[in-house]
């Protein structure tokens, strides 16, 4: 059994770019323009950057839910690996014993490992087990000792998971069973080209036909569609029909313990609040140095404005003037801060918050604190915010494209 006692890298926030940033920092990889470990912002930009997507779903037996995509979602991890020519040793098996030995082999070589797990099976996530529901994401494993596994997963603190729960989480989905990946340092000579490709990919997903799916669900078309659905009273996907006051509207705004709501997508789903626009601005500041394009600073400033606009919308979704929604927002913010700051040690406090959030959800379902007329005005206000965000982001993307073309 092996623990990498010199592993102290927990700043990564997103399950893809954050895990890679943590591992490369442990390996001592530094950026040529900063002399510091590769930032998660830089890896976000290289992987395809930010995006926007709007979707609504409802599956039989589950509450309806809203999805807002903050970043590029079409194989970004493999894109990141390929663009930086990161060598990876991939081992996968259906045999639990072999899977554990593969992990031990990586650790015994002195390397942390990427391991794909079902988050519903991990005790620290406090998610209810559901045969029909799972979420497979990579984490960094830096130790296995006795019946404990040591992880880095979004918290500033190391996390521990019992070996039996860890093994169950690895086995949940056949296609990802017992996969373990060891990474070697990237080819830093590829970094400038990788940054350019990432920027152009980001521009494309805002302005061009998406690689897959309906055009109305991505980029600037999605902003227009969302704003229309917020005020359209005839379309069955309009919020007055799809998310009327009650359980359905609360699901759209706040989600539940399992499914994010609009506030969560904006505030906490990725690697930073404001739909990760501030993080992308950090990337553009680095890209300006790497590519010798100081004009990228204009677009960076505009994306920071977009982050502010998104944060404003998040607070409007769960506003101060509706006490039940204000308490929901504050509890969600507290829950996130506890996990980041205290990790496993916050388990009981987070469980208490989850119970209170469920009570608020049930209260909203029984007696939502808005009349239909108030909800209609609320939807119209949301639509104005969405259109304002679209205006800011169009300026930011236009400035980004101009900086890259020199026009």
User: Percent of the chain, pLDDT > 90?
Assistant: 92
Residue 147: name the closest of 170, 125, 165 by CA. 165
At the top level of CATH, the class of 2-9+88-183 is: alpha beta
Confidence of residue 60 (pLDDT cuts 50, 70, 90): confident
Helix axes 40-47, 277-291, angle to 10 degrees: 90
Confidence of residue 72 (pLDDT cuts 50, 70, 90): confident
Q: What is the spatial distance between Cα 387 and Cα 311, in angstroms, rounded to a whole number?
A: 14
Longest dimension (CA), the chain: 64
pLDDT in tens, 77-114: 999 999 999 999 999 999 999 999 999 999 999 999 99
Residue 373: name the closest of 262, 249, 244 by CA. 244
Helix axes 191-207, 40-47, angle to 10 degrees: 60
The pTM (predicted TM-score) of the whole model is 0.96
Q: What pLDDT score was predicted for residue 227?
A: 98
Q: What is the spatial distance between Cα 40 and Cα 381, in angstroms, rounded to a whole number?
A: 34
Q: Residue 184 — φ and ψ, nearest 5°?
A: -110, 165
Average pLDDT of the residues in 230-236: 96
* 3-state secondary structure at position 183: strand
Confidence of residue 245 (pLDDT cuts 50, 70, 90): very high
Q: Looking at per-residue confidence, does 64 or 176 come out higher?
A: 64
* 3-state secondary structure at position 202: helix
Q: What pLDDT score was predicted for residue 174?
A: 77
Q: What pLDDT score was predicted for residue 175?
A: 75
Q: What pLDDT score was predicted for residue 407?
A: 64
Average pLDDT of the residues in 313-337: 98
Q: Map tokens 């119970």 to a residue.
A: 355
Q: What pLDDT score was predicted for residue 177?
A: 84
* Residue pair 195/189 in contact by the 8 Å Cβ criterion: no
pLDDT in tens, 122-171: 999 999 988 888 899 999 999 999 999 999 999 999 999 999 999 999 99
Rounded alpha-carbon distances, angstroms, from residue 220 to 65, 126, 196, 359: 21, 36, 22, 37
Average pLDDT of the residues in 317-342: 98
Q: What is the spatial distance between Cα 38 and Cα 187, in angstroms, rounded to a whole number?
A: 12
Length of the chain in terms of residues written = 407
Helix axes 219-231, 372-405, angle to 10 degrees: 170
pLDDT in tens, 264-311: 999 999 898 999 999 999 999 999 999 999 999 999 999 999 999 999
Q: Which value, to the nearest 10 degrees, does the dihedral of the CA atoms of residues 128, 269, 383, 217 take? A: -90
């Amino acid at each position: 059994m092996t623990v990498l006692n010199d592993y102290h890298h927990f700043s990564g926030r997103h399950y893809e770019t954050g895990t890679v940033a943590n591992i490369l920092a442990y390996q001592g990889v530094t950026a040529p323009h900063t002399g510091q470990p590769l930032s998660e912002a830089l890896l976000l930009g290289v992987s395809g950057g930010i995006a926007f997507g709007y979707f609504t779903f409802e599956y039989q037996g589950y509450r309806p839910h809203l999805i807002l995509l903050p970043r590029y979602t079409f194989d970004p991890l493999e894109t990141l690996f390929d663009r930086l020519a990161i060598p990876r040793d991939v081992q996968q098996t259906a045999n639990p014993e072999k899977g554990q030995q593969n992990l031990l082999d990586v650790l015994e070589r002195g390397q942390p490992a990427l391991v794909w797990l079902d988050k519903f099976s991990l005790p620290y996530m406090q998610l209810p087990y559901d045969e029909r529901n799972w979420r497979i994401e990579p984490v960094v494993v830096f130790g296995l000792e006795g019946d404990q596994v040591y992880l880095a997963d979004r918290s500033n603190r190391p996390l521990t998971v019992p070996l039996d729960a860890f093994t169950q989480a690895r086995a949940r989905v056949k296609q990802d069973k017992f996969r373990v990946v060891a990474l070697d340092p990237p080819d830093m000579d590829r970094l400038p080209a990788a940054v350019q490709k990432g920027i152009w990919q980001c521009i494309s997903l805002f302005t061009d036909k998406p690689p897959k799916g309906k055009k109305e669900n991505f980029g600037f078309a999605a902003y227009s569609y969302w704003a229309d659905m917020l005020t359209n009273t005839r379309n069955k996907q309009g919020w007055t029909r799809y998310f009327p006051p009650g359980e359905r509207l609360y699901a759209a705004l706040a989600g539940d313990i399992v499914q994010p709501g609009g506030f969560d997508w904006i505030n906490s789903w990725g690697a930073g609040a404001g739909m990760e626009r501030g993080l992308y601005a950090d990337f553009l500041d680095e890209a300006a140095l790497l590519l010798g394009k100081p004009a990228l600073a204009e677009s960076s400033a505009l994306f920071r404005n977009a982050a502010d606009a998104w944060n404003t919308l998040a607070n409007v979704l769960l506003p101060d003037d509706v006490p039940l929604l204000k308490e929901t927002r504050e509890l969600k913010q507290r829950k996130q801060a506890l996990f980041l700051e205290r990790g496993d040690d916050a388990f009981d406090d987070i469980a208490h918050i989850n119970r209170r959030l469920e009570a608020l959800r049930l209260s909203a379902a029984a007696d939502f604190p808005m009349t239909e007329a108030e909800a209609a005005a609320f939807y119209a206000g949301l639509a104005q915010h969405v259109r304002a965000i679209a205006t800011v982001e169009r300026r930011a993307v236009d400035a980004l494209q101009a900086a890259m073309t020199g026009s």
